[in-house]
């Protein structure tokens, strides 16, 4: 019996060993090895990128908290990538082109690497690009190596390797002229954003959200004194696109387009909601008590220009000054708007102030006057002295004192405001 | 009974072994190779001419891979770095060959560099800033294999002092590390300034403060192995006037960053530096059969004719 058991066990072991051991064949999920697959992917992506005859538009975000900027890229089969852009960080904020070498390498997956330096892309990663101790050693913290996650013939999805931002490439139409394209984009951006532009506001039912710091391409979104959220965005041809969806009061927002009147950015997802800037220009002007407005003589009528010149020349002649500046500003000491005539002689600055009254006359309408109710001219002693000494000044003030229609190109950013004298097309001026 | 059981056991084991051996002999045919075994340069590549030049100038004579395309493999999380521009890469490659490789190649031999020189040079466009300590890396030499040169986008080949300060002194410095890691320098070297090294605060000393203590540079005062290579590197790249200036500073009391002259510490900085230089010179001769003075003369000569680098 024991012998039989032993043999039985032995036979069973043998059979199971043989059966088990030769069952190591697992079905392959792929037909080819990983190395072959990645080589194929690299080759495919290379074809897609170089196939775009006129190149690609890149929605570049240095990192998920950075503002977005458009870069144009053409990938050549020779391994050379040509870049172009125009934005806040290009030299003199002008249109710029540059080139560098690129490659698609395997890494942990296919990675598009721009491995020599380009002024246009690598400034976002350069540790000493910004001359500011805060950024020293860090820079703008952007990527120049991207994992390729997906590609079609018209779009490529990239993800920054170090900082993880989602960067998209869109194929450019062959008719697009790079320089015009970027210049238009830059001009549009300048029209709606500037460092001095008002915060934008979004009103949803009874609640108002403030969108501040648009100039930096990262909105700080705040409701009252609640904690805020930062959302980067990129400027498009006719609006803006947020880095990702945000939800406010149950509404989802991603893209905004400018309206015909150029005074609002309308939500694409919720057309009844929009971002607005300044409202009534006269109230806007009166509220800007910290602004200093200078006359833009290019866009000012000849009569006013002439008087401005005369006043300036007389000031220089009478006081042997080196130069003079004529501005409109709010004087906290005088608690009033003033016309400021400032003469510079060497290091010495002399300020003559004459009170000006700006009254909101109606919507986008304003009235300027300089004499008080008793018909007296008010100002600081220097200003009154100028008033006495310079006859053109009196004429100038007289000419200025009337009602005007106010106009600006886009109320989202009233950087330049034009004053058109009511009923007199020959008299107007622009201040900035 | 026992014998037959043993026989049975032996048989069992024997059969089991055969079964195991036979069971998994799958004859898998090897597929095509995934490696591109031909060492081809892509003639259509925009960098073909430069890559070909690198092969002739570096790879063949010195067995060195000159990597100008930056490799952020693994993405350095310690530093924010950017690549060198293509133009600067080419300038750098020519200069490094002229002012460094060919110097040792001429005075010693190209075999010497093939055996002891670095295998990889890696260029990086920006400095590697350490914002916390306020210092920046100029170069690193990892285990004798790879030399990384930073700040290459700042390259100005008309400014010799700048070139030496940021690149060539660094390369001589790093190479000296490679050499002394293979053959130790004399222990007595480290005893000369023992107790005066400061690994964390060296950057706060001025050149004069360091010299007066017997250190050829502030960095030499960080640790004794740095001291050793700094003596060699500085002596090699500094002109007579510059070298004498250091010795002069060493003979006088140190002046700190606030312009305050420190009291005389009783140390003869100049004598110490010269003593250290002697040890280094002798070590180079004895351990490597390298004539330090000959190297220096060759370097100075080449620096005067720097435009030859680009011909």
B54 vs B41, B68, B184, B280, CA distance in Å? 11, 10, 32, 33
**What whole-number distance in Å separates Cα of residue B145 and Cα of residue B288?**
19
Contact B31, B42 (CB under 8 A): no
What is residue A124's DSSP assignment? G
Locate the chain B residue with the closest alpha carbon to A119.
B85
How many C-alpha atoms does A394 have within 13 Å on its Cβ side? 9
Enumerate the β-bridge partners of residue A253.
Answer: A246
Locate the chain B residue with the closest alpha carbon to A123.
B82
Residue in A175, A346, A113 with CA at minimum distance from that of residue B73: A113
| Distance to chain A for B302, nearest Cα, Å | 29
Locate the chain A residue with the closest alpha carbon to B86.
A116
**What whole-number distance in Å separates Cα of residue B116 and Cα of residue B145?**
9
Q: What pairing do the DSSP bridges indicate for beta strands B146-149 and B65-67? A: unpaired
A4 vs A134, B15, B23, B197, B227, CA distance in Å? 86, 17, 26, 82, 82
Provide φ and ψ at A115, rounded to 5°: -100, 10
- A50 in reach of chain B (CB within 8 A): no
According to the model, what pLDDT value does residue B34 have? 61
**What whole-number distance in Å separates Cα of residue B232 and Cα of residue B287?**
14
Each residue's pLDDT expressed in tens, for chain A with a length of 432 residues: 566 677 777 777 777 777 666 666 677 777 788 888 888 889 999 999 999 999 999 999 999 999 999 999 999 999 999 999 999 899 899 999 999 999 999 877 899 999 999 999 999 999 887 777 777 778 888 999 999 999 999 999 999 999 999 999 999 999 999 999 999 999 999 999 988 888 899 999 888 999 999 999 999 999 888 888 999 999 999 999 999 999 999 999 999 999 998 999 999 999 999 999 888 888 888 888 888 899 888 888 888 888 888 888 888 888 888 888 889 998 888 888 989 888 888 888 888 898 998 888 888 888 998 888 888 888 888 888 888 888 888 888 888 888 999 888 888 898 889 999 888 878 888 888
**What whole-number distance in Å separates Cα of residue B83 and Cα of residue A122?**
8
| Distance to chain A for B62, nearest Cα, Å | 24
**What whole-number distance in Å separates Cα of residue A245 and Cα of residue B98?**
56
**What whole-number distance in Å separates Cα of residue A138 and Cα of residue A148?**
25
Question: pTM for this structure?
Answer: 0.78
Contact A422, A361 (CB under 8 A): no
Provide φ and ψ at A426, rounded to 5°: -85, -5
* B131-147 per-position pLDDT tens digit: 776 667 766 766 667 88
Choosing among A19, A120, A127, A161, which should be mutated to test the B contact, i.e. which has the most B CBs within 10 A? A127
Q: How far is CA A125 from the centre of its chain?
A: 19
Q: What is the dihedral of CA A378, A380, A385, A388, to 10 degrees?
A: -10
Task: Report helix, strand and coil shares of chain B as percent, to nearest 5.
Answer: 55, 5, 35
Closest residue to A116, CB basis, from B45, B73, B85: B85
Collect all residues of chain B within an 8 Å Cβ-Cβ radius of residue A113.
Answer: 72
- A109 in reach of chain B (CB within 8 A): no
* B182-229 per-position pLDDT tens digit: 899 999 999 999 999 999 988 888 999 999 999 999 999 999 999 999
Residues whose CB is less than 8 angstroms from the CB of residue B52 and which lie 6 or more positions away in sequence, other chains included: B41
Closest residue to A136, CB basis, from B34, B71, B131: B131
**What whole-number distance in Å separates Cα of residue A13 and Cα of residue A11?**
5
**What whole-number distance in Å separates Cα of residue B186 and Cα of residue B174?**
18
Contact B89, B68 (CB under 8 A): yes
Give the number of other Cβ atoms within 10 Å of residue A288's Cβ: 17
Provide φ and ψ at B122, rounded to 5°: -120, 125
- Give SS3 for B42: coil
**What whole-number distance in Å separates Cα of residue B268 and Cα of residue B264?**
10
Collect all residues of chain B within an 8 Å Cβ-Cβ radius of residue A107.
Answer: 73
Residue in B18, B8, B11 with CA at minimum distance from that of residue A18: B18
Secondary structure E strands in chain B:
65-67, 120-123, 128-130, 135-137, 139-142, 146-149
The Cα angle at residue A32 between residues A29 and A33, in degrees rounded to 5? 95
Collect all residues of chain A within an 8 Å Cβ-Cβ radius of residue B153.
Answer: 117
Contact A84, A106 (CB under 8 A): no
Collect all residues of chain B within an 8 Å Cβ-Cβ radius of residue A79.
Answer: 42, 45-47
Q: How far is CA B290 from the centre of its chain?
A: 18
- Put the strands of the sheet holding A111-113 in their side by side order: A96-101, A80-85, A68-75, A56-61, A166-171, A155-160, A145-151, A111-113, A103-105
Enumerate the β-bridge partners of residue A157.
Answer: A150, A168
Residues whose CB is less than 8 angstroms from the CB of residue A372 and which lie 6 or more positions away in sequence, other chains included: A355, A378
How many C-alpha atoms does A231 have within 13 Å on its Cβ side? 19
């Amino acid at each position: 019996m024991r012998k039989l058991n032993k043999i039985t066990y032995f036979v069973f072991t043998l059979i199971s060993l043989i059966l088990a051991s030769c069952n190591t064949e697992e079905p392959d999920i792929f037909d080819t090895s990983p190395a072959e697959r990645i080589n194929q992917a690299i080759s495919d992506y290379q074809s897609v990128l170089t196939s775009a005859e006129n190149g690609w538009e890149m929605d570049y975000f240095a990192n998920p908290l950075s503002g977005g900027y458009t870069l144009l890229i053409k990938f050549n089969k020779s391994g050379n990538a040509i870049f172009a852009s125009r934005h806040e960080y290009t030299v003199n904020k002008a249109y710029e082109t540059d080139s560098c070498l690129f490659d698609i390498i395997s890494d942990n997956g296919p990675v598009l690497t721009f491995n020599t330096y380009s002024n246009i892309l690598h400034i976002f990663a350069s540790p000493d690009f910004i001359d500011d101790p805060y950024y020293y050693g860090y820079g703008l913290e952007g990527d120049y190596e991207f994992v390729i996650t997906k590609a079609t013939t018209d779009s490529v999805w990239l993800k920054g390797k170090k900082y993880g931002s989602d960067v998209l490439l869109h194929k450019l139409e062959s008719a697009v002229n790079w320089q015009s394209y970027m210049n238009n984009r830059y001009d549009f951006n300048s029209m709606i954003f500037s460092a001095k532009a008002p915060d934008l506001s979004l009103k949803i039912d009874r609640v108002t959200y403030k969108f501040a710091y648009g100039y930096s391409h990262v909105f700080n979104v705040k409701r009252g004194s609640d904690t805020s959220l930062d959302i980067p965005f990129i400027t498009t041809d006719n609006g803006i696109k947020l880095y990702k969806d945000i939800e406010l009061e149950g509404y989802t927002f991603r893209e905004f387009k400018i309206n015909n009147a150029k005074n609002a950015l309308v939500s694409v997802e919720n057309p009844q909601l929009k971002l607005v800037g300044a409202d009534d220009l006269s109230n806007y002007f009166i509220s800007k008590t910290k602004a200093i407005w200078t006359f833009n003589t290019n866009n000012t009528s000849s009569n006013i220009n002439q008087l401005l010149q005369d006043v300036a020349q007389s000031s220089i002649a009478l006081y042997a000054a080196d130069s003079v500046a004529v501005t409109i500003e709010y004087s906290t000491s005088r608690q009033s708007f003033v016309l400021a005539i400032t003469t510079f002689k060497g290091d010495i600055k002399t300020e003559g102030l004459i009170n000006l009254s700006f009254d909101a006359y109606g919507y986008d309408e304003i009235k300027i006057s300089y004499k008080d109710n008793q018909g007296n001219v008010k100002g600081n002693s220097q200003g009154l002295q100028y008033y006495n000494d310079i006859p053109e000044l009196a004429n100038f003030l007289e000419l200025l004192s009337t009602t005007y229609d106010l106009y600006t190109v886009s109320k989202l950013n009233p950087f330049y405001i034009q004053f058109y004298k009511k009923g007199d097309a020959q008299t107007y001026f622009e201040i900035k | 009974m026992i014998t037959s059981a043993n026989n049975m056991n032996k048989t069992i084991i024997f059969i089991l072994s055969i079964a195991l051996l036979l069971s998994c002999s799958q004859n898998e045919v090897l597929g095509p190779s995934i490696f591109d075994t031909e060492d081809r340069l892509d003639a259509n590549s925009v960098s073909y001419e430069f890559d070909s030049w690198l092969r002739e100038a570096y790879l063949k004579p010195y067995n060195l891979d000159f990597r100008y395309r930056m490799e952020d493999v693994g993405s350095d999380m310690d530093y924010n770095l950017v690549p060198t521009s293509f133009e600067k890469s080419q300038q750098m490659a020519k200069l490094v060959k002229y002012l460094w490789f060919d110097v040792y190649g001429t005075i010693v031999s190209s075999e010497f560099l093939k055996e002891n020189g670095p295998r990889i040079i890696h260029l990086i466009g920006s400095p590697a800033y350490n914002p916390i300590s306020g210092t920046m890396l100029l170069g690193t030499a990892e285990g004798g294999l790879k030399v990384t040169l930073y700040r290459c986008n700042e390259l100005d080949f008309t400014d010799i002092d700048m070139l030496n300060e940021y690149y060539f002194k660094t390369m001589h410095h790093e190479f000296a590390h490679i050499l002394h890691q293979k053959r130790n320098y004399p222990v007595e070297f480290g005893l000369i300034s023992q107790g005066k090294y400061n690994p964390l605060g060296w950057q706060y000393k001025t050149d004069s403060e360091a010299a007066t203590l017997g250190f050829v540079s502030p960095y030499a005062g960080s640790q004794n192995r740095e001291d050793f290579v700094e003596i060699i590197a500085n002596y090699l790249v500094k002109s007579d006037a510059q070298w004498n200036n250091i010795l002069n500073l060493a003979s006088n009391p140190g002046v700190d960053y606030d312009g305050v002259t420190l009291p005389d510490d009783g140390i003869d900085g100049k004598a110490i530096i010269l003593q250290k230089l002697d040890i280094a010179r002798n070590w180079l001769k004895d351990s490597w059969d390298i004539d330090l003075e000959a190297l220096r003369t060759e370097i100075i000569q080449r620096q005067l004719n720097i435009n030859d680098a680009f011909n």
